[in-house]
Amino acid sequence: MRHNSRRRTKNLGFEALECRALLSVSGIRAPRVSGAALLARVDAPKITDASPGQTAILNAIFGGAGHEFVTLAQHEVHNISSVVNGFRTGAIIQYTVAGLVFKTTNWQTGYTGFRHDPLSLTVGGGVLLKGKKIELAAIVRGPFTTYPGTTDIVFAINRGAGAQLGPYFASRPGITPDALVTVTVGPFGQSNSATITDLTTGSTQPLNPPEIQVAGPVVRLLVSTSQLPSKGLPVSKYQFAVWTETQLDAGYQDVGSFAPEGSMIPLGVETNIKPPKL
């Protein structure tokens, strides 16, 4: 999708949708009104009974961690108010643009494991930034600090060879990666690590810990494009999807949720933005 060059006249706010988060430009209302627990003006931030996911996105809106994804959303989502209303009424349960997927939290139907908040995705993101860096991010329903087990957040990447390799899961034919970037979040959100697996060669390389951030319900990491060399597509055309697991390679029944549900979407492109310090 092309970037929208029009200047927005409304303040960028934040709205919670049944404990799930989505960006909104619908103005200001008191937190107690309807199911929209929170809306905030850019010039007067206030948090009232915000969930961890709500707080994370609100922080990004006000220039904190993940603000580059807010900029991406402003460029790519041209009808934010109608999208918010669609989620509120149930007419929309998933919305995607280049670099971003928003969805209502759920469990994929084949999942047989323990249903804990860090395994249920609500936002996934992937953006190409200045300096040939790719930032990948995900927001889950609740903080990792409450979960005593490990959680794997798997970013599936298609660099051009995905169609030749075929679906990673037979029941999700639209998800055809040729590389996996996996963040392993340790018990209670501690001792985290990440790896890149090239599915065309089977090789695996670790990511440096400073390139990984786990905070509350949010996972963010930076990958150099040299660590994900092209297999036929230009980097700006790479595609991604994300899913959660409680252990690697345990099979489809161990996958808690997907974002998007059954497809891959292109990276967003914001090459005028410097990579953040994680």
- Shortest CA distance to 240 belongs to which of 144, 142, 128, 139? 128
The answer to whether residue 110 is domain-embedded is yes
The answer to whether residue 265 is domain-embedded is yes
pLDDT top residue among 238 and 276: 238
Q: Which of 55-59, 114-118, 143-147, 267-271 has the lowest mean pLDDT?
A: 55-59
Residues 29 and 106 reside in one and the same domain: no
Residues 51 and 70 reside in one and the same domain: yes
* Structure confidence at residue 260 as a pLDDT band (50, 70, 90): very high
Residues 154 and 31 reside in one and the same domain: no
Residues 156 and 266 reside in one and the same domain: yes
* Structure confidence at residue 278 as a pLDDT band (50, 70, 90): confident
Residues 248 and 127 reside in one and the same domain: yes
pLDDT tens digit sequence for 72-129: 888 888 888 888 888 889 999 999 999 999 999 999 999 999 899 999 999 999 999 9
Whether 233 and 160 have beta carbons less than 8 Å apart is answered as: yes
pLDDT on residue 138: 94
pLDDT tens digit sequence for 199-219: 999 999 999 998 999 988 999
Residues 135 and 35 reside in one and the same domain: no
Domain that holds residue 182: 95-270
The answer to whether residue 189 is domain-embedded is yes
- Shortest CA distance to 262 belongs to which of 106, 90, 88? 106
Domain finish residue from 32, 57, 92:
92
Domain finish residue from 60, 77, 92:
92
Residues 136 and 214 reside in one and the same domain: yes
* Structure confidence at residue 57 as a pLDDT band (50, 70, 90): low
Residues 127 and 261 reside in one and the same domain: yes
pLDDT on residue 67: 73
The answer to whether residue 227 is domain-embedded is yes
pLDDT top residue among 60 and 238: 238
pLDDT on residue 36: 25
Residue 263 is part of a domain; what is its CATH number? Answer: 2.60.40
Whether residue 42 is predicted with pLDDT greater than 60 in this model: the reply is no
**Which of 30-39, 42-51, 108-117 holds the top average pLDDT?**
108-117
Q: Tell me whether the omega of the peptide bond preceding residue 260 falls within 30 degrees of 0, making it cis.
A: yes
Whether residue 166 is predicted with pLDDT greater than 50 in this model: the reply is yes
Rounded to two decimals, the pTM is: 0.81
Q: State how beta strands 94-97 and 20-24 pair.
A: unpaired
pLDDT on residue 214: 94
Q: What angle do CA 2, 104, 259 make, to 5 degrees?
A: 60
* Structure confidence at residue 43 as a pLDDT band (50, 70, 90): very low
The answer to whether residue 7 is domain-embedded is no
Domain finish residue from 61, 92, 123:
92
Residues 60 and 102 reside in one and the same domain: no
Residues 115 and 29 reside in one and the same domain: no
Average pLDDT over residues 128-153: 93
Residues 68 and 106 reside in one and the same domain: no
The answer to whether residue 53 is domain-embedded is yes
Q: State how beta strands 268-270 and 121-129 pair.
A: parallel
Residues 108 and 240 reside in one and the same domain: yes
The answer to whether residue 2 is domain-embedded is no
Q: Which of 31-45, 109-123, 124-138, 141-155 has the lowest mean pLDDT?
A: 31-45
Whether residue 266 is predicted with pLDDT greater than 50 in this model: the reply is yes
Whether residue 53 is predicted with pLDDT greater than 50 in this model: the reply is yes
Q: Which of 44-53, 99-108, 212-221, 230-239 has the lowest mean pLDDT?
A: 44-53
pLDDT tens digit sequence for 4-26: 333 333 333 333 333 333 333 33
Please state the three-class secondary structure of 171-202 as a single string. Answer: CCCCCCCCEEEEEEECHHHCCCEEEEEECCCC
Q: How many domains does the chain have?
A: 2
- Shortest CA distance to 8 belongs to which of 29, 24, 31, 21? 24
Please state, for a pLDDT cut of 70, what percent of the chain lies above it: 76
